[in-house]
Amino acid sequence: MPANSKSDRVGWVRDGYQRASTDKVVDVVPADAQATLEAKHNGGQGLTSDQLRKIEKEGKLSPQSLTYANGKLVIERKMIAAKIDDAVEAKMRSEYGVQPGQRFSDAQLRTIEKKAGLRPDTLKYNSKEELILEPSHKVYLDKGGQLKEHVGSTMSGGGYAYIDESRASKVSGDLTDRPAMYALNKAFGKDPVSVAVVAPPAQDVNFLRTKGKRPSQSAGEPLDEQGLEKMAKVIGLRPDQKLIYGPDEKLKVVSR
């Protein structure tokens, strides 16, 4: 765990969650940044489609995400997001009387955010009806004059949502990203690490049953030590973490 971590944990932290996606999110490019880009690329005039694509490529933005809306330069894209843990959502449902299959109302979500100290309007449903934490996101010009964006969650090598902490808000009432997830777990009596039972995405199941096993192992057998080490690398565990089988025969992340 980094010495400057604000995750309120002793020992090791959890930074990977089940991956989901936001619906389309729109960020307005700051007016001074828009003026700088238009002056740089088109003599102060509105940017052409080719110029927009060039700016996207230079700034490593999502393709076709940069556009104009009512004269303002905006970025429209979906983002990687973390799905709320099933155990946490179940506790939330129990406390607020929301049955499985039913949605929390907007008012209930705002109440939950306030209880946990989250930034308002960050608990949301996506188009797949998944309850997610929308990551923090910011659009800016870097020192080299390139348009960049910071998003608080990205996809890890194992297909999980990696939730960043480095630029997250750590102020209660405005918590985002990893501090927000930890606070949400704490608000409903769930430790984020203890509920982190490894449930690999579908694309990793094949790894568990093929690449993660030795040739002598059959598809139905548990992974051996070598397979567990390989799987740990695929899902992006840190060197001080490892995978083990728990009493329920499910994979768990523990400290070495």
2 is a domain residue: no
3 is a domain residue: no
- Based on the domain organization, do 90 and 189 belong to the same domain? yes
Q: Among residues 164, 195, 226, which one ends one of the domains? A: 195
- Based on the domain organization, do 119 and 180 belong to the same domain? yes
In this predicted structure, what is the pLDDT of residue 248?
Answer: 64
- Based on the domain organization, do 101 and 190 belong to the same domain? yes
- Based on the domain organization, do 210 and 236 belong to the same domain? yes
- Based on the domain organization, do 12 and 30 belong to the same domain? no
- The three state secondary structure string of the chain is CCCCCCCCCCCCCCCEECEEECCCEEEECCHHHHHHHHHHHHCCCCCCHHHHHHHHHHHCCCCCCEEEECCEEEEEECCEEEECCHHHHHHHHHHHCCCCCCCCCHHHHHHHHHHHCECCCCEEECCCCCEEECCCEEEEECCCCCEEEEECEEECCCCCEEECCCCCCCCCCCECHHHHHHHHHHHCCCCCCCCCECCCCHHHHHHHHHHCCCCCCCCCCCCCHHHHHHHHHHCCCCCCEEEEECCCCCEEEEEC
**Low-confidence residues in the chain, pLDDT < 50:** 1-12, 197-220
- Based on the domain organization, do 129 and 58 belong to the same domain? no
In this predicted structure, what is the pLDDT of residue 116?
Answer: 97
- Based on the domain organization, do 61 and 163 belong to the same domain? no
- Based on the domain organization, do 224 and 135 belong to the same domain? no
- Based on the domain organization, do 115 and 168 belong to the same domain? yes
- Based on the domain organization, do 85 and 70 belong to the same domain? no
For residue 224, the enclosing domain spans 202-255
pLDDT digits (tens, 9 = 90+) for 128-140: 999 999 999 999 9
Question: How many domains is the chain partitioned into structurally?
Answer: 3
In this predicted structure, what is the pLDDT of residue 13?
Answer: 58
